[in-house]
Amino acid sequence: GNSVTQMEGPVTLSEEAFLTINCTYTATGYPSLFWYVQYPGEGLQLLLKATKADDKGSNKGFEATYRKETTSFHLEKGSVQVSDSAVYFCALSLIQGAQKLVFGQGTRLTINP
Amino acid sequence: DTEVTQTPKHLVMGMTNKKSLKCEQHMGHRAMYWYKQKAKKPPELMFVYSYEKLSINESVPSRFSPECPNSSLLNLHLHALQPEDSALYLCASSQARDSWKHTQYFGPGTRLTVL
């Protein structure tokens, strides 16, 4: 079946630390891959995406590369800020009648000053 | 403009009430979605409309009734809900053609509490 597995949280880091949140997927076909971020009390915002193998998505200092050989889409940031504290969701997109997003369980990130 | 708006922001209702959630987008998207999100969980898809027609119903109980009156609006009518239906209800929209590669844009959600 189609599924997304994210590293379990919560993750707590100090400001300016390096961040990696692992994401691996299982899918039939060639899905698009997304990272969404959810700040407390808000909806989901697109952080970045990649639509084919070897694509790199980037935004606000975050990066992720679509690795078909390892079925992964790990999120990285070189220097995190307190404002990056949020829940991060990895998701794949596929067509089953219409577009469906399959989400990972989410990783709660807390950055301490 | 990539904004999806939802009203109300918060809603408290009794189990015998009838209420509606509203969602609006002006991005020209022809696919619209309702999700339910419980605390500390990812969103769960409920319904998908494509070109104003219901294309996916994820076996949602009939006490939830979606409606898409036009390409910009999506409603979710609520009736005889249960306390376990309390959750954040998210609306999203995307382009419908080749939708697998397009971004779904989410609204801020309606926080629903059923007493």
How confident is the model over A4-19, as a mean pLDDT?
94
pLDDT of A97 strictly over 80: no
**Mean pLDDT of all residues belonging to chain A:** 94
pLDDT at A91 over 70: yes
Provide the pLDDT for residue A7.
86
Mean pLDDT on A5-26: 95
Question: For residue A10, is the peptide bond before it cis, meaning its omega torsion is within 30 degrees of 0?
Answer: yes
Reduced to 3 states, what is the DSSP secondary structure of residue B4? strand
What lies within 8 Å, CB to CB, of B61 at 6+ separation is: none
Question: Predicted confidence band at A8 (pLDDT cuts at 50, 70, 90)?
Answer: confident
Q: What confidence category does residue B1 fall into, taking pLDDT thresholds of 50, 70 and 90?
A: low
User: What are the pLDDT digits (tens) for B23-71?
Assistant: 999 999 999 999 999 999 999 999 999 999 999 999 999 999 999 999 9
Nearest to A73 by CA among A109, A39, A112, A102: A102
Residue in this structure with the two tokens 């239906």, named with its chain if needed:
B85
Mean pLDDT computed over B79-104 = 89
Q: Provide the shortest C-alpha distance from residue A51 to chain B (in Å).
A: 6
- The contacts of residue B79 (CB under 8 Å, 6+ apart) are B17, B18, B63, B65
Give the per-residue pLDDT at A94.
82
3-42 in chain A: CB under 8 A from chain B = 31-32, 34, 36, 42
Q: Do B43 and A100 touch (CB under 8 A)?
A: no
Does B98 score more than 90 pLDDT?
no
- Do A89 and B94 lie within an 8 Å CB cutoff? no
Binned at pLDDT 50, 70 and 90, residue B78 comes out as: very high
Chain A contact for B66 (CB, 8 A cutoff): no
- Mean pLDDT along residues B65-92: 96
Pick B99's closest partner by Cβ from A45, A46, A95: A95
Instruction: List the single residue in A99, A100, A106 with the smallest CB-CB distance to B42.
Output: A106
**Nearest C-alpha in A relative to B95:** A99
Instruction: Output the pLDDT for position B9.
Output: 96
Dig out the tokens for B69 from the structure.
């009156």
Of the candidates B72, B63, B58, the one whose C-alpha atom is nearest the C-alpha of residue B22 is B72
Q: Which of A66, A71, A40 is nearest to A53 (CA)?
A: A66
> Quick one: which of B106, B94, B108, B99 has its CA closest to B27?
B94
For residue B107, list chain A residues with Cβ-Cβ distance below 8 A. 43
pLDDT in tens, A58-88: 999 999 999 999 999 999 999 999 999 999 9
Q: How much is the average pLDDT of A23-52?
A: 93
- Cβ of residue B108 closer than 8 Å to a chain A Cβ: yes
Q: Does residue A44 sit at the B interface (CB-CB below 8 Å)?
A: yes
Indicate the average pLDDT of chain B.
Answer: 93
Is any Cβ of chain A less than 8 angstroms from the Cβ of B48? yes
Give the 3-state secondary structure of residue A102: strand
DSSP B11-73: EEE-TT-EEEEEEEE-S---EEEEEEE-TTS--EEEEEEETTEEEEE-S--TTEEEEEEETTE
Whether residues A100 and B107 touch (CB distance < 8 A) is answered with no
Q: State what percent of residues in chain A have pLDDT above 90.
A: 81
Residues of A in contact with B50 (CB under 8 A): 98
Q: Residue A28 CB: number of other CB atoms within 10 A?
A: 8
Residue A20, helix vs strand vs coil:
strand
Phi, psi values for residue B98, rounded to 5°: 50, 40
Q: How confident is the model at residue A29 (pLDDT cuts 50, 70, 90)?
A: confident
